[in-house]
Amino acid sequence: MTDPVPPVIIFVVGALLVPFIKGSWKSAFLLAIPVVGFLNLISISEGTHWVVGFLDYRLVFGRVDRLSLLFGYIFHIISFIAILYSLHVKDNLQLIAGLVYAGSALGAIFAGDLLSFFVFWEMLTVSSIFLIWARRTEASLGAGYRYLLVHAAGGLCLLAGIVIHVNQTGSIEFGYLGLNGLGTYLIFFGFGLNCAWPLLHTWLTDAYPEATITGTIFLSAFTTKVAVYALARSFPGTEALIWIGAIMTGFPIFYAVIENDLRRVLAYSLINQVGFMVCGIGIGTALAINGAVCHAFNDILFKALLFMSMGAIMYRTGKINGTDLGGLYRTMPLTCVFCMVGAASISAFPLFSGFVSKSMVMDAAAGGHMRFIWFILLFASAGVFHHAGIKIPYFAFFSHDSGMRPKEAPIHMLLAMGIAAFLCIFIGSFPGFLYSLLPYPVEYVPYTAPHVVGQTQLLFFSALAFTLLLLSGIYPAEMRCINLDADWFYRKGGRLFFYVMDRTLNKINRVCEGVFVGGITGYLARISKDVVPRFILLGMVSFWVLTGSRGEVLQMKKMNVYNDFLKGTLPVGIGAGVAGLFIVLLFVLS
């Protein structure tokens, strides 16, 4: 067997070869990339590999430990699932962008230094944007530009942080940083933007629902999870993260309840789930970190599964709004079942994957006696079941009959969803396998009778609330509308900025034009034209008056001299005299 290579290389080289492979081999080739990548990954031993000298620094492309390996495994698995799901796509742009995007994520998590990490981080942004633009609608174009601008700002912030940090410490090692000094705060903020922290989150809910059907599967897996990895690597135990995470779990669920676009509902629930991870990283104990990364692993699977089921509906019906859908269980039963497996997993039903990981974070919060945090997380657990667990399947597959009878999803989509659904149930039922891969040894036992009953009660009674609210008509009806979010500030603010700039700068421009182009320049031109004869006449007229010239004679003399100067037809002697006078004047003045 050949020596392993950095995982990113397999994906990027694979992506570059995509345009050259045609016909039926293409599917096999695409699927082979994550398989070969996975075989490569398991042949890499823990430790530091592929160290390259760059200027005075050492770039590390293979820092392989239990934390990065876990993310490496799931990134390969989800790449395989997403590629399988995308096999109908003929658009090379999407395929290449998806592969480079997955490769960049792998590059970032195995990077052992901040410089190469930053390069992969930016590659993530650049490649992901094509998954949004590839939908080729006006909305996706606009959302893509906003996504790019927000991430460019975040990336610059991160770069500034890295530069300051490296300048201060002289080290580019990408390890524990902690919050100490401006540089680390900027890095923290840069990670937070990709993590979709509150108020910084709108790039996610704005852009993900506008991406292509298959692009969203890739998007849901990588950007936020790389940011979670980065926080777990550099800022574990940072108290601010506990609160940020708790707010992240709480506020999106309110939006999710009133949102009509079902993929946008999932985007909000993505923030909610990442909140659990961020909170766990903030708590920082071994149990909490294990819970956070374990939940990241599971979230990638069940969130992709939910997005895939919604994507299958979009593929078959061309619609995604709750107002347009309903009753699809009739002709898309398998998609419906897979969606419900995803819904049960994200809601943390016993025997489904969310149950074995989310509860670790909850337990860590309880173990740290964080009452308020624990209450928020519990509220979010009930809420996520409400909007992602019930709302998504209910409005898509049940609810009122939309009259649509689309065909079941294509076979490759069903297979991709089936694999994800199987993994969700497998991990939920046999958590020991995933636990053995976590960064710290696991003593946690998820399946205790009080835990199972308590969690089931929580979920069933929130389902009861949903049922009663729906039957009583209180449940908010799906509406064709948009809901304002923090992106209002830059979407409307951007226009205000443009308006203000337009009014002030253009006004200044007009005034300047009036003063300099129309005013001073013309005045100077007029003055310069006859300044010399006028100056000369000043002296000459006094001389002529003194020598007795008056009336018409004086007038004629003035006219002659003036015209001679303008036309340059002076007698040579006078011209030389004036030039001499000029030199004398210069000499005197200097």
Partner 1 sequence: MKEQNQQSTINNQQSKPYLFDNPKNVKILLRCFYCSLLVLLIIEFFLHKHPHFAWEGWPEFYAIYGFVACVVLVVVAKYILRPLVKRREDYYD
Residue 154 burial (CB count, 10 A): 22
Residue 135 burial (CB count, 10 A): 18
Residue 563 in tokens: 């015209």
Among 222, 374, 395, 444, binds partner 1 (CB under 8 A): 374
Among 145, 185, 243, 398, binds partner 1 (CB under 8 A): 398
Which of 454, 444, 446, 418 shows the shortest CA–CA distance to 351? 446
Q: Which is nearer to partner 1, 43 or 457 (CB)?
A: 457
CB of 403 to partner 1, least distance (A): 8
* 429 near partner 1, rule: CB under 8 A: no
HSE of 27 in the Cβ direction (CA atoms, 13 Å)?
Answer: 10
Q: Which is nearer to partner 1, 142 or 237 (CB)?
A: 142
Which of 151, 241, 261, 263 shows the shortest CA–CA distance to 197? 241
* 588 near partner 1, rule: CB under 8 A: no
DSSP string, 244-292: HHHHHHHHHHHHHHH--BHHHHHHHHHHHHHHHHHHHHHH-SHHHHHHH
Tell me the C-alpha to C-alpha distance, in Å, between residue 494 and each of 137, 156, 204, 234, 500: 21, 19, 18, 33, 10
To which residue do tokens 């409005």 refer?
395
* 147 near partner 1, rule: CB under 8 A: no
Please give the torsion angle defined by the CA atoms of residues 131, 132, 137 and 139, in that order, rounded to the nearest 10 degrees.
Answer: 170
Residue 270 burial (CB count, 10 A): 25
Q: How many residues of this chain interact with partner 1, rule: CB under 8 A?
A: 51
To which residue do tokens 């996520």 refer?
384
* 456 near partner 1, rule: CB under 8 A: yes
Residues 489-528: x where in contact with partner 1 by CB under 8 A, - otherwise, as a string:
--xx------------------------------------
* 394 near partner 1, rule: CB under 8 A: no
Q: How long a stretch of residues is the chain? A: 590
Residue type, 581: L
Among 145, 185, 329, 426, binds partner 1 (CB under 8 A): 329
Among 108, 455, 478, 533, binds partner 1 (CB under 8 A): 455
Q: Which is nearer to partner 1, 28 or 484 (CB)?
A: 484
CB of 149 to partner 1, least distance (A): 15
Helix (H, G, I), strand (E, B) or coil at 519: helix
Only segment of 20-28, 117-125, 234-242, 475-483 that touches partner 1 (CB under 8 A):
475-483
* 475 near partner 1, rule: CB under 8 A: yes
* 379 near partner 1, rule: CB under 8 A: yes
CB of 355 to partner 1, least distance (A): 14
Nearest-5° angle of CA 189, CA 385, CA 80? 65
**Residue numbers 558-577 binding partner 1 by CB under 8 A:** none
* 367 near partner 1, rule: CB under 8 A: yes
DSSP string, 524-588: HHHHHHHHHHHHHHHHHHHHHHHTT--HHHHHHHHHHHHHHHHHT---HHHHHHHHHHHHHHHHH
Only segment of 221-229, 311-319, 375-383, 533-541 that touches partner 1 (CB under 8 A):
375-383
CB of 176 to partner 1, least distance (A): 28
Among 117, 466, 490, 565, binds partner 1 (CB under 8 A): 466
Among 25, 54, 176, 254, binds partner 1 (CB under 8 A): 254
Among 107, 236, 383, 428, binds partner 1 (CB under 8 A): 383
**46 — phi, psi (to 5°)?**
-65, 145
End-to-end CA distance of the chain: 87
Instruction: Give bridge partners of residue 321 from the DSSP assignment.
Output: 261
What is the enclosing helix (H) or strand (E) of 62?
Answer: strand 57-64
Separation of alpha carbons 279 and 291, rounded Å: 10
Q: Which is nearer to partner 1, 57 or 394 (CB)?
A: 394
Please give the torsion angle defined by the CA atoms of residues 413, 415, 419 and 424, in that order, rounded to the nearest 10 degrees.
Answer: 60
Residue 531 in tokens: 């300044």
Residues 6+ away with beta carbon under 8 Å from 4? 40, 41, 43, 44, 49
Among 469, 496, 566, 574, binds partner 1 (CB under 8 A): 469
Q: Which is nearer to partner 1, 329 or 562 (CB)?
A: 329
Only segment of 73-81, 115-123, 279-287, 359-367 that touches partner 1 (CB under 8 A):
359-367
CB of 291 to partner 1, least distance (A): 15
Only segment of 163-171, 241-249, 270-278, 374-382 that touches partner 1 (CB under 8 A):
374-382
Among 55, 481, 546, 588, binds partner 1 (CB under 8 A): 481
* Residue 61 DSSP label: E
Residue 538 in tokens: 């000043």
* 253 near partner 1, rule: CB under 8 A: yes
- Sign of the torsion formed by the C-alpha atoms of 325, 327, 333 and 339: positive
* 382 near partner 1, rule: CB under 8 A: yes
Residue 556 in tokens: 């004629």
Residues 49-88: x where in contact with partner 1 by CB under 8 A, - otherwise, as a string:
----------------------------------------
* 141 near partner 1, rule: CB under 8 A: no
* 16 near partner 1, rule: CB under 8 A: no
* 257 near partner 1, rule: CB under 8 A: yes
* 334 near partner 1, rule: CB under 8 A: no
Helix (H, G, I), strand (E, B) or coil at 53: strand
Helix (H, G, I), strand (E, B) or coil at 521: helix
CB of 454 to partner 1, least distance (A): 4
Contact positions toward partner 1, by CB under 8 A? Answer: 253-255, 257-258, 329-331, 363, 366-367, 371, 374, 378-379, 382-383, 386, 398, 403, 405, 449-450, 453-467, 469, 474-476, 479-485, 491-492
